[in-house]
Amino acid sequence: MNLASDRQTPLDRRAYPVLISSTFAFTICFAVWMMFAILGIPLKSQLGLSDTEFGLIAAMPVLTGSLIRVPLGIWTDRYGGRIVFFLLMLATVVPIWLLSYATQLWQFLLLGLFVGLAGGSFSVGTPYVARWFPKSRQGLAMGVFGAGNSGSALTKFVAPALIATAGTWTIVPKVYSVAMLATAVLFWLASATNPSHLTGRTISLREQLAVMKDPRVWRYSQYYSVVFGGYVALALWMTKYYVGEYGFDMKVAAFLAACFSLPGGVLRAIGGWISDRYGAYRTTWWVMWACWVVFFILSYPQTTFVVQAIGGPRNFHIGLSPTVFTVLMFIVGIAMAVGKASVFKFISDDYTDNIGAVSGVVGLAGGMAGFLLPIMFGAMSDATGVRSTCFMLMYGTVCISLISMYYSFRGERIAHALKAHAS
């Protein structure tokens, strides 16, 4: 089917209800997945945690949410997104509730593993939503669904307000548990099943996993580890960063951190539209360059130095004010939102019949980066005493992506240039 006829293909009337209900469900799942970004702050004081331990407790849900993505993507291909999504949400309700009764670090780490299952919802919802739309609109559809990443910002607004109202952090898991149960029921009532979307009848498990041998999958995984893994890691880290670097209280710090999380989630839909219009490669290339510039500026720590001037010693200070810092984080949030959508546009273009398994592998890579990076942020902060080392690390990951993209797509650029010159 060519692009023109693809655009004229009528949509199933259930497509938009599925998209809306799935996006809402993913938003709640992501809010739950990111709740330790807020809970970790009172827990750091209550349990006497180091920065490394804070990174571990904040990132623990991300670990299982990442590891479960590949099997979830495969199960979605085999059994359908509706039933897998519904059961996944139900599986997290009790662990979320039990968090309010935890008192020791190991208990939070263990329960965090089960709560993290909510993060695997992305690998269910992406193929589930994409198959309801023709190829020419899949980038936008997946971008709208991916806007559920804004659940990270939702947590930064809701969780501090709940804590301030109740006077204790234990109210947050209880409210989130009830919200997850209600969301699961609403999703089931509003969504639909389309048996024609199942691929497990004709594609074996071995064939689904064979995509891991494709170098393109690992290339897209690396890009996604930056734009999604970096987004998750910074979303977990920024509230604490504002508290430590600028001395804000948790409520103000969470609000400012949402200036990064919100555009990083909501604008993913715009990223899907841009990717449909300008192509996945071109969009991802400029996303990486935008991140490269911003992370370079953010990497410079607060610095005071003395210059021996003609008239005697003069003191100088270089550093980012809270306003400038927040603006830069807002910009990188936009770039990552667009980049998350453009990477999955690569997948929908290249793997139409096996999108569940491929999105699971790529999602796993992004999620594992989201798990490892906060721990590395904490370790580097503990080792150097410099908070901006987290941005130095992110700057390095972007450099790797730019080099990879330049050499991986070099042949395609040359062919395109020769074709343009010939015409």
Give a yes or no: residue 355 inside a domain.
Answer: yes
**Most confident region among 1-15, 180-194, 199-213, 256-270 by mean pLDDT:** 180-194
Q: What is the pLDDT of residues 378-390, one digit of tens each?
A: 999 999 999 999 9
Which residue type sits at 45?
S
- What is the tally of structural domains in the chain? 1
Q: What is the pLDDT of residues 76-107, one digit of tens each?
A: 878 888 999 999 999 999 999 999 999 999 99
Residue reference for tokens 């400012």: 256
pLDDT confidence band for 7 (50 / 70 / 90): low
Give a yes or no: residue 198 inside a domain.
Answer: no
Residues 52, 40 contacting (CB under 8 angstroms) = no
Compute the average pLDDT of residues 286-315: 91
Q: What is the pLDDT of residues 244-262, one digit of tens each?
A: 899 999 889 999 999 998 8
Q: What is the pLDDT of residues 105-138, one digit of tens each?
A: 999 999 999 999 998 898 888 888 888 888 777 7
Give a yes or no: residue 332 inside a domain.
Answer: yes
Nearest-CA neighbor of 144 among 29, 35, 16, 236? 16
pLDDT of residue 126: 83
Calpha distance 319→298 (Å, rounded)? 9
Mean pLDDT taken over the chain: 86
Give a yes or no: residue 55 inside a domain.
Answer: yes
Compute the average pLDDT of residues 299-305: 88
Positive or negative torsion for Cα 272, 275, 281, 287: negative
pLDDT confidence band for 197 (50 / 70 / 90): low
pLDDT of residue 242: 94
pLDDT of residue 184: 96
Count of all residues that appear for the chain in the document: 423
pLDDT of residue 201: 47
Query: What's the CATH number where 118 sits?
Result: 1.20.1250.20
Q: What is the DSSP string of 292-330?
A: HHHHHHHTSPPEEEEEEETTEEEEEEE---HHHHHHHHH
Higher pLDDT, 201 or 210: 210
Give a yes or no: residue 77 inside a domain.
Answer: yes
Q: What is the pLDDT of residues 360-369, one digit of tens each?
A: 778 788 888 9
Give a yes or no: residue 1 inside a domain.
Answer: no
Q: Which region among 300-304, 351-355, 415-419 has the lowest average model confidence (pLDDT)?
A: 415-419
pLDDT of residue 379: 93
pLDDT of residue 131: 84
pLDDT of residue 417: 52
Residues 355, 130 contacting (CB under 8 angstroms) = yes
Give a yes or no: residue 347 inside a domain.
Answer: yes
Give a yes or no: residue 201 inside a domain.
Answer: no
Calpha distance 274→247 (Å, rounded)? 38
Calpha distance 245→386 (Å, rounded)? 10
pLDDT confidence band for 413 (50 / 70 / 90): low
Residue 419 pLDDT > 70: no
Residue 3 pLDDT > 70: no
pLDDT of residue 76: 83
Compute the average pLDDT of residues 338-356: 80
Domain that holds residue 132: 15-193+208-422
pLDDT of residue 274: 87
pTM: 0.81
Calpha distance 25→194 (Å, rounded)? 19
Q: Please state, for a pLDDT cut of 70, what percent of the chain lies above it.
A: 90
Alpha carbon dihedral 153, 154, 160, 161, in 10-degree steps, equals: 140
